[in-house]
Amino acid sequence: MKTGVLGFGGGPSVVPLIRHEAVKAYGWLSDDEFGEIFVLANTLPGPIATKMAGYLGYRLQGIRGAVIAVVAHILPSSLAMIALISAVGYFSSSLVVQGMISAVVPVVAVMLGAMAYEFAEKAVKGLGIYFGVVFFVLALLLLQVINVHPAIVIMLFIGYGTMHFTFVDRWKAHKAQKEGQ
Amino acid sequence: MDWIELIQLFIGFLIANILGYGGGPASIPLIYNEVVEKYAWSTPTEFSNVIALGNALPGPISTKIAAYIGYDVAGIVGSIIALIATIVPSIIALIVMLKLLQKYRESKVVKGISLLVQPVIAMLMVVLTWQLADNSIGDIGWLQTFIIALVALWAMHKKKIHPAFVVLAAFVYGGFVLPYF
């Protein structure tokens, strides 16, 4: 089991890999079950891959399994990360390394810009273009112009989110009624 | 050992991750907010290097950020604390709430919540992208920033080259070309 979990890894698209290991290689659960858990994990906050690993480990071996699965999942990459950045930091006085560090910043800006686009796309798909733009502007205003803490902005949006579909349904019903008259 | 710092680490990463709906990448701007702006544990340039290397290594991104920042602030213990704050709450929530979630998955309240968080995350990403770009312009000038960003965008999205190679290329460019400008 431990070796199987150790086989995990591989960037943000790690979920298909976990699926392959858990469903095909080890037969721990069915494809449908996996899909179900994935959808549910998605509705909770926090990193997806560790949630999946934690839950699968728990299902198979209880608390011990959850701990082993998660540790196996994150330990190698965490150690690699610390080692790598410490190495970069060690040489950071050199001009070459300073150039390297500076040159990566625009690349990261592009990566984040692309992620921003993906999230915006998802939001527009779910909310429709008009609602989407209204909420973008609202979020930007709160965050940048009024300088509200992101946690509070998210809380506000979640608060409204619990009622969003009720409003949409009511609005649609209202519209249908008008057209019927 | 500085207890206050450890508690801050725990709270900082806890807040960033329980609000980051949509997997690891969603919590990046929230982690930035805690790590760079609130507690000033790292500079924008350092933070973008952490993201660049984190994206280049396999495994989930937010745990790698937590491992490194925690280590940087308070050594191995800090690393463990930041990791626990990142992953444990969401795993426990998944295990405990799986049954409950299964019942309410189709509920409009749950759907509304995960939908309405998207525009906020998208805007946080946009703001972070802008901050990094601004930072980079101050560091290496707008022309270099613009060229590197454009090449990175072309390589990652038109050519579909893996981010690890793009980061590597940026390192090489930064190390051997930038110091001579």
Q: How many CB atoms lie within 10 A of CB B156?
A: 18
A-chain residues near B136 (CB < 8 A): 102, 105-106, 109
Q: Which of A10, A49, A102 sits opposite B174 (nearest CB)?
A: A102
Q: pLDDT tens digits, residue range B52-86?
A: 887 777 667 788 888 889 888 888 888 888 888 88
Q: Which residues of A touch B33 (CB under 8 A)?
A: 149-150
Among all chains, which residue has been given the structure tokens 């698209």? A13
Interface predicted TM-score of the whole assembly (ipTM), two decimals:
0.77
Question: How many whole angstroms separate alpha carbon B23 and alpha carbon A44?
Answer: 9
Identify the burial level of A156 via C-beta atoms within 10 angstroms of its C-beta, where 0-12 means exposed, 13-18 middle and 19 or more buried: middle
In whole angstroms, how far apart are CA A165 and each of A96, A180, B175? 54, 22, 52
**Closest to B129 (Cα-Cα) out of A121, A144, A112, A106:** A112
Listed by number, the residues of chain B in 77-106 with a beta carbon closer than 8 Å to a beta carbon of chain A are 79, 83, 86-87, 89-91, 93-95, 97-98, 101-102, 105
pLDDT at A5: 45
Q: What is the pLDDT of residue B99?
A: 67
Chain A interface mutation, best of B14, B105, B123, highest count of A Cβ atoms under 10 Å = B123
Is it the case that residue A181 has pLDDT exceeding 70? Answer: no
Tell me the per-residue pLDDT of A14-73, one tens digit each, with 9 for 90 and over.
666 677 777 777 777 777 777 777 777 766 776 777 788 888 888 777 777 788 778 877
**H or E stretch including B108?**
helix B108-140
| Element spanning A41, H or E | helix A31-43
pTM to 2 decimal places? 0.76
Six token digits for residue A64: 């011990």
pLDDT higher than threshold 50 for residue A11: no
**C-alpha B150 chain-centroid distance:** 21
Instruction: Give dist(CA A83, CA A18) in Å, integer.
Output: 26
Give domain limits for chain B. Answer: 3-106
Looking at chain B, which residue has its C-alpha nearest residue A55? B95
Instruction: Report chain A residues whose CB lies below 8 A from the CB of B36.
Output: none
Residue B93 pLDDT > 60, yes or no? yes
Q: What is the pLDDT of residue B101?
A: 65
Q: Domain spans of chain A? A: 1-90
The residue assigned the tokens 């450890």 is B6
The CB density around residue A47, as the number of other CB atoms within 10 Å, is 29
